[in-house]
Amino acid sequence: MNTIEVINLKKDFSIGKESISVLKEISFNIQKEDFVSIMGPSGCGKSTLLYILGGLDKPTDGVIKVNGKDLNKLSEKQKSIMKRREMGFVFQFYNLVPNLSVEDNILLPIILDKKGLKKYKKKLDDILDIIELNNKRKNTPRELSGGQQQRVAIARALVFEPEIILADEPIGNLDSKTGTEIMKLFKEINKEFKTTIVQVTHSEESAYYGNKIIRLKDGVILREEVVKESIRL
């Protein structure tokens, strides 16, 4: 079974009386453990596509299945449970809560899900080790560098051990050295936990950390590329 299946996806936006067709007849599949990079010019609909995959926006037409479940057929409640537990989101500008500590930012999905925090103590320690920020656990985001903040955001996305991570330009705001560190972290997560990763990126180099590249242009898939030699750790 495909982890994500997209069939004839269309997305129009209306601005005033005009309607623009951003995505037209997009179809593709993503398998478990794939690390897919979505690329294309600014405004071609990459973020729109990613948000639709994550159930954060609705398509105008077409079907999205996640682990065989048609997103459109789930109730709002089922969808929000799936978003929280099966998918982790990472954004360009980290989206951390400024006055919460690193720890609390990471545990936020658990707090919001009203889960017992105690059970997650060990998990939190493990995650802090993975992102190498154990020594900053009591600090707040403004005391961290951009790369460190993004690592916290990735940790927050990992807390429920999601099967899928969706990342929108996760290194778009970082210098190239820090960006490389973040890409290596994604790759490690992909290999170690077999997490399926879908990232949007403008960087050719970062795209090659994955095993598949989807190139969009003018609302259609220009080309799907299988990466033969992806960047190793």
Residues interacting with ligand ATP, by CB under 6 A? 13, 15, 22, 42-48
Query: Contact 12/58 with Cβ under 8 angstroms?
Result: no
Q: If binding is defined by CB under 5 A, does position 206 make contact with Mg ion?
A: no
Q: Which two tokens stand for residue 89?
A: 């989101």
Partner from ligand ATP, Mg ion, none contacting 42, C-beta within 5 to 8 A by type = ligand ATP
Comparing CB distances to Mg ion, the nearer of 148 and 201 is: 201
**Nearest distance, CB of residue 192 and ligand ATP, angstroms:** 29
CA distances from 205 to 110, 171, 209 (A): 34, 11, 7
Question: How far apart, in whole angstroms, are the C-alpha atoms of residue 192 and residue 154?
Answer: 15
**Nearest distance, CB of residue 103 and Mg ion, angstroms:** 30
Comparing CB distances to ligand ATP, the nearer of 45 and 109 is: 45
**Nearest distance, CB of residue 38 and ligand ATP, angstroms:** 9
Partner from Mg ion, ligand ATP, none contacting 75, C-beta within 5 to 8 A by type = none
Query: Contact 139/105 with Cβ under 8 angstroms?
Result: no
**Residue 198: what are its φ and ψ, rounded to 5°?**
-125, 115
Q: In the range 45-64, which residues lie near Mg ion by CB under 5 A? A: 47
**Nearest distance, CB of residue 37 and ligand ATP, angstroms:** 13
CA dihedral sign of residues 108, 112, 114, 115: negative
Comparing CB distances to Mg ion, the nearer of 92 and 139 is: 92
Comparing CB distances to ligand ATP, the nearer of 133 and 216 is: 216
CA-atom Rg of the chain in angstroms: 18
**Nearest distance, CB of residue 92 and Mg ion, angstroms:** 8
**Nearest distance, CB of residue 78 and Mg ion, angstroms:** 27
Partner from ligand ATP, Mg ion, none contacting 24, C-beta within 5 to 8 A by type = none
Q: Which of 10, 2, 96 is nearest to 52 (CA)?
A: 10
Comparing CB distances to ligand ATP, the nearer of 22 and 82 is: 22
Match 């005033």 to its residue by tokens: 16
By three-state DSSP, how is residue 161 classified?
coil
CA dihedral sign of residues 166, 20, 59, 83: positive
Q: If binding is defined by CB under 5 A, does position 190 make contact with Mg ion?
A: no
What residues line the site for Mg ion (CB under 5 A)? 47
